[in-house]
Amino acid sequence: MWKTSVSKVEPNHIITRGYRQEDLIGNVPFTHVFFLLVKGRMPDEKEARMIDALITSSIDHGVTPPSTHASRIVASAGVPLPTAVAAGILAVGDVHGGAIEQGAKILQEWVRLMHDNKWSFEQTAQKLLEALKKEGKRMPGFGHRIHTKDPRTKRLFELAAKLKITKDHIKLTLAIEARFAEKKPLPINVDGAIAAIISDMEFDWRLGKAFFLLGRAAGLIAHVYEEMTTQKPMRRMCTQEAEYDGPWEREI
């Protein structure tokens, strides 16, 4: 007999984390129920507003991200909507949404070190970046191919401040950004912002991709539906400029 603490189903009776599902439906907003599902307790009012904002900040970023692109391509091949959406979710990987997970892991580790050693934020930021550099790694969640100032980061951090959610992980993230700015500005992107905020909300870094995935699912549904209803099947969605550089034609 194995244990689960997520839910229990009996005839005419469905319990989710201790609550009757009929009590949740229409009374507790969906994203708050998501908080309940992963945390095991209801969010307070501030947490509730913050988690909704986090998920909304991941909904969509146009047609070019791997997740959206994969979903539209698979949709164009004539498959059910969930199959196409799932293809996009498969693209939530170490370099697409993964900065949330990796960033949160690093932040959580270094805030612990900071407390243990009574370092300042500036000291910690400096040591953290040196340590990463030594390993030949970069701090995830900074810089963006398109945005020099990610509008989602600004909005999320303002909200976190207003809701008094800002604690040491956000502060350390800002200290890292300040450190970068001394040489060459490398602004916090939306992944970096989410990594910091979920860490200040005491979420396990292993859930990092989950917030992104859930928000993005909404956008993927919209893209897949648009593809299915307005575009020709198997259309040429984009121009791949690939050149063959394999062996010259030969006999078997």
For a second copy, the binding residues in 185-204 under the rule CB under 8 A are 204
CA–CA gap between residue 133 and residue 3 (Å, rounded): 43
Q: Does 234 bind a second copy (CB under 8 A)?
A: yes
Task: Give the residue with the Cβ less far from a second copy, 176 or 197.
Answer: 197
- Name the one residue in this structure whose structure tokens are 């229409």: 26
| Residue 148 CB coordination number (10 Å) | 9
Query: Looking only at residues 81 through 100 of this chain, which bind a second copy when binding is defined by CB under 8 A?
Result: 81-87, 89-98
CB of 117 to a second copy, least distance (A): 26
CA–CA gap between residue 39 and residue 3 (Å, rounded): 17
Task: Give the residue with the Cβ less far from a second copy, 127 or 147.
Answer: 147
String of contacts with a second copy for each residue 120-159, x by CB under 8 A? --------------------------xxxxxxx-xxx--x
CB of 231 to a second copy, least distance (A): 7
Alpha carbon separation from 165 to 16, 24, 66, 151, 200 (Å, rounded)? 26, 25, 31, 19, 7
Query: Looking only at residues 23 through 52 of this chain, which bind a second copy when binding is defined by CB under 8 A?
Result: 23-31, 33-34, 37-38, 40, 42, 49-50, 52
Strands, E assignment, 97-228? none
Q: Does 241 bind a second copy (CB under 8 A)?
A: yes
Structure tokens at 132: 């990463």
